[in-house]
Amino acid sequence: MNWRDAGIAFDLRDGRQPGLNPGCVIERPKVVRNAAGKFVMRFHLERNGNAYSDAMQGVATADRPEGPFQLTWQGRPNPGIWPLNTPEELRDPERIAAARRETATISNGCNARTPEVSVLGYDVESGTGQQSRDLTVFLDDDGRGYAVYSSEKNSTTHLAELDADYIGFTGRYWRLFPWRWMEAPVIFKHGGRYYFIASDCTGWAPNAARSAAADSLTGPWTELGNPATGAGGDTTYGGQGTFALTLGGETLFLADRWRPENAIDGRYLWLPVEWEGERPVLRAPGR
């Protein structure tokens, strides 16, 4: 495969994107094409100087996949709306009040306190929308689009239905994998079933992946363990999932290999998804 440099897809220099200043953090961009022929980029957004407290999404659109993209929207998903599968205990006013008091001190990593309060309820009642960090976009066979992202201090995955042009939200969303603290969500379909691969929350350091399967996107999901086998599988071969690309009936698992000390030299890892029965399996590159 030969790559051609097509230039800057989304240019933030010199105020080219009103509302986004140079120095903001843009992560996990995903681009899909809508029915009108527009290319829609969705990404995790942290504005300059806000130290990862924004937990927002951004959307930009273009007429061509290589851009130039222009910012269309920025914000948090579904402000003021409860998930369709909200457990009653997360509506408890005392748990919501505790989250309000402690939101600045609760960790975004695995901890015992988050399940005891209602970060979800606090974000609903604040009207700011749900937190969104690592994300992906999934288009189902019927053309419906979904944003899938780490929320509630990274403790729980949210699945949010997108509108027909994949830019906005319908207001319908669900909580998946509560209190499992997963990042880098990847969703794909195989044999009529849905499959999910994600990572633990260890920042830039690679870790063992997790996988799950379901007959419906909204669950219930059954966890299947680490899909990465053999030497290096405990760190997903130094990578962290970012997308699944299905071509000709075969699925590729795409992963980032982060180099925080020299971010421009971060690399990619593309691995075929193999199958052991109904369980997805990844094998070491170059085996």
Task: Read off the pLDDT of residues 105-159 as tens digits, 9 standing for 90 and up.
Answer: 999 999 999 999 999 999 999 999 999 999 999 999 999 999 999 999 999 999 9
Residue among 221, 129, 217 at smallest CA distance from 177: 221
Strand spans (E) along 130-221: 135-139, 145-151, 156-162, 169-176, 182-190, 193-200, 210-214
Per-residue b or e along 132-146, where b marks 16 or more CB atoms closer than 10 Å to that residue's CB: bbbbbbbbeeeeebb
pLDDT of residue 229: 97
Angstrom distance (rounded) from CA 160 to CA 130: 10
Task: Read off the pLDDT of residues 162-178 as tens digits, 9 standing for 90 and up.
Answer: 999 999 999 999 999 99
Q: Find the range with the poorest average confidence among 45-54, 120-129, 223-232, 249-258.
A: 45-54
pTM over 0.75: yes
pLDDT of residue 49: 82
Task: Read off the pLDDT of residues 17-63 as tens digits, 9 standing for 90 and up.
Answer: 988 988 899 999 999 999 999 999 999 999 988 878 999 999 999 99
Task: Read off the pLDDT of residues 174-219 as tens digits, 9 standing for 90 and up.
Answer: 999 999 999 999 999 999 999 999 999 998 999 999 999 999 999 9
pLDDT at 84 over 70: yes
> Which tokens is 131 given?
């937190």
Alpha-helical segments (H) within the chain: 93-102, 119-126
Q: Which pLDDT band, with edges at 50, 70 and 90, does 287 fall under? A: low
